[in-house]
Structure formats: C-alpha cells, structure tokens
Chain A
Amino acid sequence: MINGQRWLRYASILAVLLNVVAIGMHYYIAHQKRTLGVLPQGAMIKPVTGIDSLGNYVTESTVSAYSCHVVRYTSIRCPSCRRDEPSWNHFDTILRNHGCDSTILVPAATDAPRNVAPLPNRRLVPVVPAFVARQTNLLATPSTIVFDHDWKVVWSTLGMLQAGDTERALSALE
C-alpha cells in the first residue's frame, strides 16, 4: 500500500515535469515561428543607410533624429504585400506619428512601390550598402521590423500585418 502510494507520487511528479517541459517547448517553438526569417527581438544592428529614391544619401545622422525606426521589406511583385498595403499604411502612419521614421527596402530597385511619396520621416531606399543587407538579413516580403532609437529590435513580423500588430509594436516601444 505504501509502495503504491510512493509509485503514484513519483508518477505524478514525472507527469508534472513532462508537462512543464512540453509547455516550455511549445513556447519556444511559438517564439521561433514568430521570428522566422526576420530579426528577433533584442537583436541590435547599425543604422539602415543607403540612397533614397530621390538620390539623397541616407546617413546615420539622417536617421538618428528619430526616437524609433520602422523598416519594411516589400515588393510590387509580391501579392501579399499589395494586399497588406492598407494595414501597412495604417501601421506606418501611427508609428511615424509616435516619432518613428520609416525606411522601405526592396529586393531590387525595380521592385520599389511607385505610390510611396517620400517624406522627411518616410523614405524609400532602393539601393543599400552590403552591410545593411548583411545585418538585416531579410529573407521574404513583406517583413516589418520596429527598432528603438538605438536600433535594437523591439518588434518584428514576417508576412502580412495582423489586427492588433500596431498596438503590439507601440507597446513594445514603451
């Protein structure tokens, strides 16, 4: 009887431990999925520089004036990007109103969206130095990354923006 009770206790402890491990794994995989193909939260990069669509140099000092930065990787050849445009426009406007600047990167200059009106805090950068491509290492369009002032990733997503993403990005900046 005592042995039976002991056996049951050990089995219960084992069951609890297995659950803890399995739930931990679940959260790990969910986190990995969330950051698949895009810079993970906490990663730090140097400022995204290049030459904008107007032919101006985008330097470190151009972007350092802003309290946060949004980088969008998109292409006119990508159907999801076109479908995501209203969500992106909303996201972009809200974050720029919050003090961020936004930089639109494209796989090739010929992929650049035609309808982006450049603003002081929104620029389309068709050509970049190699180290920007190395650091950001974006694999697929659309991708959206939000950085704090020091270019530390606070929020990122691969694929179309989802309802609530603007709020999540904003709260990540708090």
Chain B
Amino acid sequence: MRFVDLLLCLGLLLLAAFIARRDIQDAHDLHRQDSRLVTAFNFPVSPRSIVGYDRGGHRVAMLPLGFKRMALFVIHGTKLQADIDFWNQAAQQNRSPDVEFVGICDDAACVQSMTKDPGNAHFASVLFGDYYAMRTILNADSHGQIIILDRKTDRMTNVEYPASGAALSRIMSILTEKL
C-alpha cells in the first residue's frame, strides 16, 4: 500500500514538473510574441489621409502642402485652450515659410471645439486621421514628445514636448535647421 502511495506521490511530482516546464516554455513564447508584435507594429508613420483644417481654417483632406518640415503634436482636450494658446504663440514666432505646425485632437471635446471654430487655432489641425498614424503621434505624446516630420524624406524625429519658451525656441531651431 505504501509503495503504491509512494508511486502516486512521485507521479504527481513528475506531473507538476512536466506542467511547470511547459509553462516556462509558454511564458517565454508569450514574451517573445508580445515583444515581436510590439516591435513590428510600432514603427512611426505620418498621417496621409486626414480630416482637419489648415491654418486659415479651411477644411483639408491631407497634411498641408508646400512645407518642408512639420511639427506634429497632440492638442490635449483636457487643457484645450492652454494648448491652443501655446501653439498659436509658436506659430506666431515662426518666420519660416517652410515650417508648419500641426495639432492632433486627442478627444471628442477638442474635435467638437475645432469643428465649431477652426479659426481659433493659427496652425493646422487634424480631427480624424489614419488609424496607425494616429497611434504613432499618441505614442510620442505618451512619452512627452512631439514629432518633427521631414516632408522630403518622410523621416520622423521625436523631440521633447516644449514645456517652456526656451524649449520652444530649441524646437524652432530644429525645425529650421538646414532647410
């Protein structure tokens, strides 16, 4: 009887070891798949199709043409007017005809407000855009960054979200560098 008990106990221990070994393999697979998925589907892409307004308040279906570089940033619905004022100030400081500022609405309140009064912003705005490109810009924003898009090469560079006038001047110099 004791021999049978011993065998049963041993069997259970072996079964636990077997399942645990498979669990470890599965956990490694899961981790690998997860990181592959995130890496493969997280390369930056700029929006091609949009619904928004240019700086003059005219409706546009693509990013404004005729600019060599653009600053793509999120207009936060939670501090809508403050963000609009800040970026209006940036647009006013901009002396280069080759640079444009493009704000992307991040919530329904911003979309509604911009639709109602597009002239409130003195920069281009995006209310709707390509799913994947929207994720790219939101992803940068979640890291406290904005994107500088070079229209000629389509290269996107992430820079820190300007929190002050000095930071904004730095961004202006990046935007106008070697144009």
Contact = CB atoms under 8 A, between A and B. Distances in A.
Interface of A: 4-5, 8, 11-12, 14-16, 18-19, 21-23, 25-26, 29-30, 32-33, 36-37, 46, 49-51, 73, 105-110, 126-134, 137-140
A4 B2 contact: yes
B114 to A, nearest CB: 11
Contact of B37 (A36, A106, A133): A36
Given A129-B111, A140-B41, 13 more contacts: A8-B2, A22-B20, A33-B33, A36-B30, A51-B51, A105-B131, A107-B131, A108-B132, A108-B133, A110-B48, A130-B74, A137-B135, A138-B131
A127 B2 contact: no
Q: DSSP majority for the A interface?
A: helix
Interface residues of B, number: 46
B23 interface: yes
B30 A11 contact: no
Nearest to A112: B49
Interface of B: 2, 5-6, 8-9, 12-13, 15-17, 19-20, 22-23, 26-27, 30, 33-34, 37-38, 40-41, 45, 48-51, 74, 104-108, 111, 127-135, 137-138
Contacts, number: 133
A139 B2 contact: no
A33 B30 contact: yes
Contacts of A106: 131
Given A8-B2, A109-B49, A131-B106, A29 B134 contact: no
A5 B129 CA distance: 71
A50 B50 CA distance: 11
Contacts of B108: 46, 49, 129, 131
